[in-house]
């Protein structure tokens, strides 16, 4: 690993003249030039970067016509679901264009994983999509098992499916709350957290952690179920539907909520496929694509369930889709508990895994959509390349498509209905 | 395949392999199957042609781009842009590996086939420095706009490459000597 | 003559001082209610550390706000930026002048009290607009413009909704209105449509959920208040909660018989005892409506700004006009 010679560096396609010039001026001891200082630029010019636009699209977003201005929503905005920045071009209250600016939470997990052994990779992926941590571990675990050519015992697969479906219930439940919160409803989010807290307690009982579980292993899971987990699961199962319904009563038929979500942010099925939107958002647009059915992994081919879809593809359909999937997941949990076999939960694997050179692709259905891992082994103890496709990263591209013509108030409501998680977006 | 046993989804890949060889013939290299993946390699220059055919051919019907990723095979080798596709008609993921020359890493964008490829391509440009010609929004997505190196290349060495960026690897806000305080007024108001 | 003038002046100064002082505990109580009741409705504990059951939490918040650094953005227009919180707070405090707490406990019993009230409360929109403009912040600007649009629009149905009551009672003075209600029964029975319109519009007028467009914390961060800190923000905050109290008080005076007890018997109580008795009923009824506003905040999401304006102009305004029309005809026909 030597540093590339500057001469062989590829010519940068971007016009970096301004940056070059700034560097030269700094080297010569001159003060930097600013194309516009805030005092003289005028109020509507605030927020335009003081460098030439790098691409066609950037020029489009950052050039203002009469009566337009840019608003930076984020990175410290109360409801951007983490640290992201939406550059919103508005004309009065009407959104003209929107440009998501990412990277505030970028930790370079892919690069980190290339320097970690296969077992420790599973700890690095945890904080990606922090509302679906178990799912984050699931796909790499499957990919590494494919690379190593090993299959976890049946009971391990069932425990995996169980914790993953529990996580789906908690994540979808939170989406209900966040959607209402971004419209100003204070209560549903706290009702959702009651449900999530119980699930987190369960996960803590089985894995020893409350958020970053590190529960999956190559070839199995870390622990078998224990009494505390099972008793908590039983109690939770007794009243979870009542909890969900309590929250639903706050939201579903609320006149204001309906007025703000029906026909808002409508995404057609064809557009959703083209934009790479997956998961509940895609199914809400009427496309019955669910990795659990389309390409069954783990033990999903042994479970009975149908792919739920909605027709309209608007924010309300995305919300209804989440509720339907919560109920479906609870149904799946019942089936898993019925069918759970006995046996070991961990296959025999060495401490340091050295798979044969090869490639493996594993995709799972995370609460936000298709989450996949593409891993390449060169025979060494750590992956040569470890690539993660995060569904919320891709779903964000729908924002510039959905927003034009809507109001500023809808920005957050529509974004919340897409349910992105910034930890996953920024990797 | 040694210890490897078939996974839960046995690849019924025979028909797909036959279809692919029929359609593309000698274009395909390294056609191979995994437990649930069929893969082949193409030339980077032919990616649009092949992907359009895969998407639009009614027998193949790979309507969904599941993933688009870049792999760096090292200094003396090449880049690879890897497309993963999904079709209802075939119970296997299709992996198309397009080779890109390392000295001039350019490849056609596929944003006109799948709009959603845009963020993937921005990420690949940001991390690997692969230029997707025709992508109208090819700018940095994770790193800051003035960053000059490509962190996921195999030859990336952190201190050196960061020092090569205009701010010498330091956030400008952390370097008081670069602050232009005049724009904040003299504070007398 | 001179003595009477002096007495009147002295009485006025005393009354205004008392009212200004009253705003502080009122704001504390309403904020405390907001925190604690919403917490209970959210199945949380709410503040429970400061004082028994946490009852001094909002007081501590008040002192905390006093202790905060008071910042002014560099680009802001300093003079108007400083003036805005004062304008909003004074609008709320001045409108308290005509609130009829009890017989004999009105700071200024104008014969045009109702007109005065709406005129003065409407001034707060100027303060919000100025705050939004002076902050040199786009969120503030949008919030200020929203507040102007919203409050000006809702003032029209708000004012029209009580014209029916005024026509019925034939007076613009609060105390006479309450006296009328003592004879004829609460206006609630006479003006149910007017009451509905007034309640919805008053929520919008004081920026309460579901009409809290101005603040809209999930869209506009904090609207016109975004750049404020310290006691300047505290003034806005106080004014908002005092305005909620005032609106509930006016609602009670106009439609729920003000200081009157629900049953007639001891309402004839004279003197100081009568005043105390009136104050008791007045505050009880007022805080019931404050409670309902808090309850609404815990329950409802926020409407969108275009839906809000549509409601004012398409629903409430025609309804208020119809109400006024019917009332006027009834007054003429039945010679009320």
pLDDT in tens, A117-142: 888 888 888 888 888 888 999 999 99
Q: Give the C-alpha separation, A40 to A351, whole Å.
A: 64
Chain B interface includes A102 (CB < 8 A): yes
Chain A residues within an 8 Å CB radius of B75: 2, 4
Q: Give the C-alpha separation, A364 to A92, whole Å.
A: 42
Chain C interface includes B181 (CB < 8 A): no
The distance of A358 to chain B (nearest Cα, Å) reads 10
- Compute the residue count for chain B: 189
What backbone torsions phi and psi does residue A359 show, to the nearest 5 degrees?
-130, 145
CA dihedral A381, A382, A385, A388 (to 10 degrees): 130
Higher pLDDT, A43 or A13: A43
CA-based nearest residue in chain A for residue B118: A397
Sheet holding A358-366, edge to edge: A358-366, A369-377, A385-389
pLDDT in tens, C41-58: 888 888 888 888 888 888
For residues C62 and C28, the answer to whether their CB atoms sit within 8 Å is: yes
Query: Per the domain annotation, does C170 fall within a domain?
Result: yes
Radius of gyration of chain B (CA): 22
pLDDT at A232 over 70: yes
Answer yes or no: do C301 and A180 touch at CB < 8 A.
yes
Task: Label residue C140 left, alpha or beta by phi (over 0 means left) and psi (-120 to 50 means alpha).
Answer: alpha
What percentage of chain A exceeds 90 in pLDDT?
Answer: 18
CA nearest neighbour of B41 among B11, B73, B87? B73
Angle, helix C271-299 to helix C230-255, in steps of 10 degrees: 110
Chain C residues within an 8 Å CB radius of B184: 74
The distance of B187 to chain C (nearest Cα, Å) reads 8
Confidence of residue A45 (pLDDT cuts 50, 70, 90): low
Q: Which residues of chain B have pLDDT under 50?
A: 1-11, 186-189
Q: Which residues of chain C have pLDDT under 50?
A: none
For Cα atoms A216, A221, A224, give the angle at the middle one, nearest 5 degrees: 140
pLDDT at C265: 56
Q: Read off the tokens for A119.
A: 């077992």
Query: Per the domain annotation, does C61 fall within a domain?
Result: no
State whether residue A284 is helix, strand or coil: helix
Q: Which of C203, C210, C213, C218 to mutate to test the interface with A (most CBs of A within 10 A)?
A: C218
Domains in chain B (CATH in brackets) are: 11-111 (3.30.460.80)
Pairing verdict, β A94-101 and A85-91: antiparallel
Confidence of residue A372 (pLDDT cuts 50, 70, 90): very high
Q: Which of C71, C74, C80, C134 to mutate to test the interface with B (most CBs of B within 10 A)?
A: C74
Answer yes or no: do C301 and A93 touch at CB < 8 A.
no
pLDDT at A13 over 60: no
Q: What is the largest CA-CA distance in chain B?
A: 79
Query: Per the domain annotation, does C47 fall within a domain?
Result: no
The distance of C41 to chain B (nearest Cα, Å) reads 41
The distance of C109 to chain A (nearest Cα, Å) reads 39
CATH dotted code for A109-398+421-426: 1.10.645.10
Angle, helix C230-255 to helix C57-67, in steps of 10 degrees: 140
pLDDT in tens, A14-40: 444 555 666 666 776 666 554 444 444
pLDDT at A30: 64
pLDDT in tens, A51-84: 777 788 888 888 877 778 888 887 877 777 778 8
CA nearest neighbour of A118 among A93, A149, A88? A149
Query: Per the domain annotation, does C2 fall within a domain?
Result: no
Confidence of residue A165 (pLDDT cuts 50, 70, 90): very high
pLDDT at A169: 92
Query: Per the domain annotation, does C233 fall within a domain?
Result: yes
pLDDT at A326: 92
Answer yes or no: do A411 and C219 touch at CB < 8 A.
yes
Query: Per the domain annotation, does C6 fall within a domain?
Result: no
Chain B residues within an 8 Å CB radius of A39: 183, 185
pLDDT in tens, B130-178: 888 888 888 888 888 777 778 888 877 665 555 555 555 555 555 566 5
pLDDT at B44: 84
Q: Give the C-alpha separation, C38 to C195, whole Å.
A: 25
Chain A residues within an 8 Å CB radius of C41: 187
What percentage of chain A exceeds 70 in pLDDT?
Answer: 89
Q: Give the C-alpha separation, A371 to A118, whole Å.
A: 18
Task: Name the B residues in 132-161 with CB < 8 Å from any A CB.
Answer: 136-146, 148, 151-155, 157, 160-161
Range of the domain at C82: 68-334
The distance of C128 to chain A (nearest Cα, Å) reads 18
Q: Give the C-alpha separation, C89 to A79, whole Å.
A: 29
User: Structurally, how many domains does chain C consist of?
Assistant: 1
Q: How far is CA C222 from CA A181, B39, C65, C138, C233, in A?
A: 15, 53, 16, 11, 11
Query: Per the domain annotation, does C298 fall within a domain?
Result: yes
pLDDT at C274: 75
Q: Give the C-alpha separation, C209 to C202, whole Å.
A: 11
Query: Per the domain annotation, does C123 fall within a domain?
Result: yes
In chain A, what are the domain boundaries?
Answer: 35-101, 109-398+421-426
pLDDT at C100: 86
Task: Label residue C234 left, alpha or beta by phi (over 0 means left) and psi (-120 to 50 means alpha).
Answer: alpha
pLDDT at A6 over 60: no
pLDDT at A43: 61
Confidence of residue A371 (pLDDT cuts 50, 70, 90): very high
CA nearest neighbour of C205 among C295, C285, C286, C316? C316
Q: Give the C-alpha separation, C152 to A408, whole Å.
A: 21
State whether residue B31 is helix, strand or coil: strand
The pTM of the full predicted model, rounded to 2 decimals, is: 0.84
pLDDT in tens, A88-125: 888 878 888 898 888 888 888 888 888 888 888 888 88
For C61, residues 6+ apart whose C-beta sits below 8 A from its C-beta are C31
Chain A interface includes B21 (CB < 8 A): no
For C192, residues 6+ apart whose C-beta sits below 8 A from its C-beta are none
């Amino acid at each position: 690993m030597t540093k590339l010679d500057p001469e062989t560096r590829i010519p940068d396609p971007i016009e970096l003249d301004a940056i070059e010039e700034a560097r030269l001026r700094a080297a010569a001891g001159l003060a930097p030039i600013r194309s516009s200082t805030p005092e003289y630029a005028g109020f509507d010019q605030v927020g335009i970067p003081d460098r030439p636009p790098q691409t066609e699209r950037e020029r489009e977003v950052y050039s203002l016509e009469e009566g337009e201005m840019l608003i930076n929503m984020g990175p410290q905005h109360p409801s951007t679901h983490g640290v992201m920045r939406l550059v919103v071009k508005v004309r009065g209250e009407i959104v003209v264009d929107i440009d998501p600016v990412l990277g505030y939470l970028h930790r370079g997990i892919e690069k980190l994983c290339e320097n970690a052994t296969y077992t420790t990779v599973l700890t690095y992926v945890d904080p990606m999509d922090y509302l679906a941590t178990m799912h984050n571990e699931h796909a790499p675990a499957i990919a590494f098992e494919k690379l190593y050519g090993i299959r976890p015992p049946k009971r391990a697969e069932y425990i995996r499916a169980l914790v993953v479906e529990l996580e789906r219930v908690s994540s979808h439940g939170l989406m209900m709350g966040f959607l209402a919160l971004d419209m100003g409803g204070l209560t549903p989010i706290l009702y959702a957290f009651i449900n999530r807290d119980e699930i987190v307690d369960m996960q803590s009982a089985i894995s020893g952690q409350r958020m970053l579980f590190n529960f999956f292993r190559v070839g199995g899971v870390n622990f078998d179920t224990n009494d505390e987990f099972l008793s908590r699961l039983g109690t939770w199962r007794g009243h979870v539907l009542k909890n969900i319904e309590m929250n639903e009563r706050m939201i579903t038929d609320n006149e204001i909520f309906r007025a703000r979500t029906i026909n808002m942010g409508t995404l057609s099925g064809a557009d959703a496929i083209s934009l790479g939107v997956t998961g509940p958002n895609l199914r809400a647009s009427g496309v019955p694509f669910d990795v659990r059915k389309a390409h069954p992994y783990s033990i999903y081919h042994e479970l009975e369930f149908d792919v739920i879809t909605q027709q309209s593809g608007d924010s309300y359909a995305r919300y209804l889709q989440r509720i339907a999937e919560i109920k479906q997941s609870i149904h799946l949990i019942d089936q898993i508990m019925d069918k759970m076999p006995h046996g070991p939960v961990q296959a025999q694997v060495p401490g340091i895994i050295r798979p044969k050179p090869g490639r493996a692709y594993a995709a799972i259905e995370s609460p936000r959509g298709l989450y996949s891992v593409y891993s390449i082994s060169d025979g060494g103890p750590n992956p040569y390349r470890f690539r993660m496709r995060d569904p919320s990263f891709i779903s964000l591209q729908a924002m510039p498509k959905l927003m034009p013509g809507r109001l500023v108030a809808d920005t957050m409501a529509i974004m919340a209905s897409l349910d992105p998680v910034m930890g996953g977006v920024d990797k | 395949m040694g210890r490897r046993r078939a996974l839960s989804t046995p690849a019924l890949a025979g028909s797909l392999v036959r279809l692919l060889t029929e359609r593309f013939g000698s274009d395909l290299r390294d056609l191979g199957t995994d437990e649930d993946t069929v893969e082949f390699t193409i030339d980077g220059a032919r990616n649009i042609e092949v992907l359009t055919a895969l998407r639009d051919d009614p027998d193949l019907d790979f309507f969904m781009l599941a993933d688009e990723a870049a792999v760096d095979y090292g200094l003396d080798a090449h880049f690879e842009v890897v497309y993963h596709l999904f079709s209802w008609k075939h119970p296997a993921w299709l992996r198309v590996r397009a080779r890109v020359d390392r000295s001039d890493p350019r490849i056609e964008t596929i944003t006109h086939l799948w709009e959603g490829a845009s963020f993937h391509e921005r990420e690949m440009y940001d991390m690997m420095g692969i230029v997707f010609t025709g992508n109208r929004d090819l700018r940095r997505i994770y790193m800051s706009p003035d960053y000059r190196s490509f962190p996921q290349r195999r030859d990336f060495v952190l201190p050196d490459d960061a020092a090569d960026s205009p701010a010498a690897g330091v956030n400008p806000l952390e370097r008081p000597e670069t602050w232009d305080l005049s724009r904040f007024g003299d504070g007398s108001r | 003559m001179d003595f009477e003038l002096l007495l009147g002046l002295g009485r006025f100064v005393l009354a205004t001082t008392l009212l200004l002082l009253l705003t502080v505990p009122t704001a504390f109580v309403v904020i405390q209610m907001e925190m604690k009741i919403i917490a209970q409705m959210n199945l949380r504990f709410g503040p429970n550390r400061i004082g028994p059951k946490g009852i001094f939490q909002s007081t501590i918040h008040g002192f905390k706000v006093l202790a905060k650094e008071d910042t002014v953005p560099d680009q802001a227009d300093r003079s108007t930026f400083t003036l805005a919180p004062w304008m909003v707070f004074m609008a709320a405090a001045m409108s308290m002048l005509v609130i009829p707490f009890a017989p004999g406990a009105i700071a200024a019993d104008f014969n045009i009290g109702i007109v005065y009230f709406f005129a003065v409360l409407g001034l707060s929109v100027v303060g919000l607009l100025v705050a939004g403009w002076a902050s040199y912040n786009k969120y503030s600007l949008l919030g200020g413009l929203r507040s102007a649009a919203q409050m000006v629009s809702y003032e029209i149905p708000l004012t029209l909704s009580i014209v029916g009551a005024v026509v019925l009672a034939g007076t613009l003075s609060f105390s006479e209105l309450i006296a009328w209600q003592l004879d004829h029964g609460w206006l609630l029975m006479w003006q149910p449509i007017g009451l509905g319109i007034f309640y919805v519009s008053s929520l919008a007028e004081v920026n309460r959920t579901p009409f809290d467009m101005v603040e809209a914390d999930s869209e506009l961060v904090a609207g016109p208040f975004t750049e404020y800190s310290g006691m300047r923000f505290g003034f806005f905050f106080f004014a908002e909660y005092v305005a909620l109290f005032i609106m509930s008080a006016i609602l009670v005076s106009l439609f729920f018989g003000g200081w009157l007890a629900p049953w007639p018997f001891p309402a004839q109580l004279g003197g100081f005892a009568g005043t105390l008795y009136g104050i008791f009923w007045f505050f009880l009824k007022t805080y019931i409506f404050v409670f309902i506003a808090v309850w609404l905040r815990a329950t409802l999401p926020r409407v969108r700004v275009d839906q809000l304006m549509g409601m004012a102009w398409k629903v409430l305004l025609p309804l208020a006009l119809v109400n006024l029309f019917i009332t006027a005809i009834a007054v003429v026909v039945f010679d009320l």
